[in-house]
Amino acid sequence: MPTLEVAVVGYGLAGSVFHAPLIAAEPRMRVAAVVTSSAERAAQAEREHPGVRVVATADELFANPAGIDLVVIATPNRTHAPLARQALTAGLPVVVDKPFAVTVAEAEELVERAEQAGVALTVFQNRRWDGDFLTVRTLAEAGRLGQVLRFESRFERWRPVPKGGWREMGDAADGAGLLFDLGSHLIDQALTLFGPVKSVYCELDRRREGIQTDDDAFVALTHTSGVRSHLWMSAVAPQLGPRFRVLGSQAGYVTYGLDPQESALRSGRRPDDGEPWGTVEPEHWGVFGAEPAVEPVPTIAGDYPAFYAALATALLDGGAVPVDPRDAVATLRLLEAARRSAAAGEVVAGVKRRQR
């Protein structure tokens, strides 16, 4: 079986927890190189991936990319586009962690460059493989909800004391703030489920002292289909709302709590350790139906490994990448519209998205 040699650029949380373990769990891939300037993280990479080549800078990697079949960009947001551009220039397929870039212009330039070079480019929208999202998608596509009228989605946390770092102290050029961090997931999920958006309304707030960007956000999307998506992101929620609340003309679905895959990866578990992966216990299943006839429905097992499995197939056998980068451009377009809406305090209409 051919093996794709993968270079992971950045070995912080994204690189070491979300990417490298999923790559290592895919039989057709191997973590062959890691880029990090941290001696501690270099030692961690060598311990976790025996035989890995560790280099201090991306320039060093791209100066000698021989033997590398795929580059994964898992660095701070503002560096995503420049590093992806370097990889594409070297003729290497690229995975970019979300957000794809910090501006629509950067993202569109990357897509055009990849198409002209005939090189695969995709974006790590892993939340498309959350179990609760897969459950919502299955219920909606099967028509069990009837016509979906309202889609509510939340990523809320209770972090009254800021952690610091660029995510809280950076600016728009850094891609800082919860809107870009969590909104990249929530907007992508809404677009995946319900398609193009014709208007956006957004509220952005900075609730905690000592930070420089948004830590509390609300986004309302009106889809051309008529569905309204209401999306919340917060670091200052002392009580958490439902993860999903989906209201249809025939039934609704409500579920609480986060998909367990992130916590499993953070705790050191791996998808190939022989234990069930991404499963949710019955006491945490969502509730489906219409009052008074509501009942729990099993949550589909989450499947983050599906991203790299699909990418391996695309690179080795041909076919589509797991996430079309144009979808990420559409998400960025809505993120930019959301910022304009919040600044003006009004609805932004006429938002365009590539039609499928």
Q: Is 277 inside any structural domain?
A: yes
Residue 151 is predicted with a pLDDT of 98
Is the pLDDT confidence value at 19 over 80? yes
Lowest mean pLDDT among 145-149, 212-216, 300-304: 212-216
| Token pair for 124 | 């790590």
The answer to whether residues 109 and 156 belong to one domain is no
Q: Looking at the structure, do residues 198 and 261 belong to the same domain, yes or no? A: yes
* 160 and 90 part of one domain: no
Same domain flag for 57 and 68: yes
- Give the pLDDT of residue 242: 98
Residue 319 covered by a domain: no
Question: Is residue 214 located within the same domain as residue 285?
Answer: yes
DSSP string over 196-221: -EEEEEEEEE--STT--S-SEEEEEE
Report the alpha-carbon angle 69-323-192, nearest 5: 170
Q: What is the pLDDT of residue 352?
A: 63
Amino acid 345: pLDDT: 96
pLDDT-derived band at 230, boundaries 50, 70, 90: very high
The total number of structural domains that make up the chain: 2
Sheet hosting strand 29-35, strand order edge to edge: 53-55, 29-35, 4-9, 70-73, 94-97, 121-124
Whether residue 228 lies inside any domain: the answer is yes
The answer on 58 and 33 residing in a single domain is yes
At 61-119, the pLDDT tens digits run: 999 999 999 999 999 999 999 999 999 999 999 999 999 999 999 999 999 999 999 99
State the DSSP code for 236: B
Query: Last residue of a domain, which of 90, 124, 158?
Result: 124
318 within some domain: no
Average pLDDT over residues 175-188: 93
The pair of three-digit structure tokens given for residue 147, joined into one six-digit string: 């016509």
- Check whether residue 108 and residue 132 sit in a common domain: no
Phi, psi of 193, deg, nearest 5: -80, -45
Is 259 domain-assigned?
yes
The pLDDT of residue 355 is 37
Q: Which residues pair with 8 in a beta bridge?
A: 34, 72
Of 124, 147, 173, which residue constitutes the final position of a domain?
A: 124
* pLDDT tens readout for residues 50-60: 999 999 999 99
Output the pTM of the full model: 0.94
* % pLDDT > 70, the chain: 99
The b-or-e profile of 27-50 (16+ CB within 10 A means b, else e) is ebbbbbbbbbeeeebbebbeebbe
pLDDT at residue 171, rounded to an integer:
82
Q: Are strands 286-290 and 121-124 parallel, antiparallel or unpaired?
A: unpaired
Flag whether pLDDT at 28 surpasses 50.
Answer: yes
Average pLDDT in the chain: 95
CATH code, domain with 138 = 3.30.360.10
User: Cα–Cα distance between 95 and 84 in angstroms, integer?
Assistant: 8
Cβ within 8 Å of residue 129, ≥6 positions away: 261, 302, 303, 304, 306, 307
For residue 353, what pLDDT is reported?
A: 52
Show the domain range for 176.
127-303+333-349
- Structure token digits, residue 332: 């960025």
For residues 137-151, one letter each, b for 16 or more C-beta atoms within 10 angstroms of the residue's C-beta and e for the rest, the string is bebbeeeebeebeeb
Query: If residue 4 lies in a helix (H) or strand (E), which one and from where to where?
Result: strand 4-9
Check whether residue 50 and residue 190 sit in a common domain.
Answer: no
For the cut 70, the answer to whether the pLDDT of residue 41 exceeds it is yes
Q: Is the pLDDT of residue 178 over 60?
A: yes
Nearest alpha carbon to residue 144 among 57, 212, 246, 21: 246
Same domain, 70 and 158: no
Which residue stretches of 149-253 are H helix? 166-169, 178-181, 183-194
Domain-embedded: residue 356: no
**Same domain (yes/no): 115, 144:** no
The CATH number of the domain holding residue 93 is 3.40.50.720
With respect to residue 286, please indicate whether it lies within any of the assigned structural domains.
yes
Of residues 252, 294, 292, 258, the one with CA closest to residue 278: 258
Looking at residue 170, its pLDDT comes to 81
pLDDT at position 136 over 50: yes
DSSP 348: E
The pLDDT of residue 174 is 84
Residue 351, pLDDT score: 78
Q: Tell me the C-alpha distance between 152 and 242, whole Å.
A: 8
pLDDT in tens, 203-215: 999 999 989 899 9
The answer to whether residue 200 is domain-embedded is yes
Share of the chain above pLDDT 90, in %: 91
My answer on whether 168 and 288 are in the same domain is yes
Choosing from 96, 124, 152, the residue where a domain stops is 124
Question: Is the domain of 78 the same as that of 94?
Answer: yes
